[in-house]
Structure 1
Amino acid sequence: MTARDPVTRDQLPTLQPITRPVPLPPPARVWSGAEMRAIRLGLAAGQMEDRWLALVEADRLFLHRSWTGFGVYEAVFSEQPDGWRITEAWVESNSDRYRRQGDTYEALFLQMLVAGKLLGGGEPGDWEQLRSLRTPRP
């Protein structure tokens, strides 16, 4: 595995900020120092199938949809005695940009995006729990 430089805003010129941020309860997960170093690298879409872009600026993670550049999540990480925690989080509530679900769903999905997309793994049972929280569309 080779080292790479962190993704920067200059590399992702189509990014658009969240237009109607609403606060989310932060996920409870604790991230290790090694995980935080990997999170800080961000994520640039390498293929058409990649749906997410991510970058970190001053311990604030920005997650955007890759095709539109629309901001969906922001999360502030803070170092705690037991590791790194998300201490503040927001999700897009503009339904023209993102179909927001309930707070519990969105907090879990944010955690899953970080674990799955930025760290390459997830927790057993996360997808089942997420599906159980999803609000059916009319």
Structure 2
Amino acid sequence: MSWHIRHPRDTRQSVCGLPAADVRRWEPEHPPRVDYTCEDCYTQLPEAARPDDATHPIGDATLIDTLRRIVTDRQHAKINGVIVDLWSASVAVLIWDKLRDDKRQLLLTLPAHELILRCVKVYIRLATTGSNR
């Protein structure tokens, strides 16, 4: 089952154009980014059409500076076509600061969105194992 985002101007259809009668499950008004939401809905949102705030090739260490700027400004940004929210940026910076240099170099071999997702995964693993003690 795929979830859809309700169109802001027409409550009878989703953002991707699917009629309401065909939608079995709606996301809330301000949906979190989840893997099982219709990708077309996300590409049709106005935020997806805005230009990139920053572009970082693989291996560019200035990506961390951009993430720090997101945290400082308390404002999301679009990096390499992916919108990065404040929480994801702060977690990535937090994990980055705790890593050794060799682990940082391994992370820099990943695209920007993969680097952020990897840091979030590490943070979640640490948070869940820390709460069981």
Taking structure 1 as the reference length, the TM-score comes to 0.26
More helix by share: 2
RCO comparison, higher one (Cα < 8 Å, 6+) = 1
More strand by share: 1
Taking structure 2 as the reference length, the TM-score comes to 0.27
Max Rg structure: 2
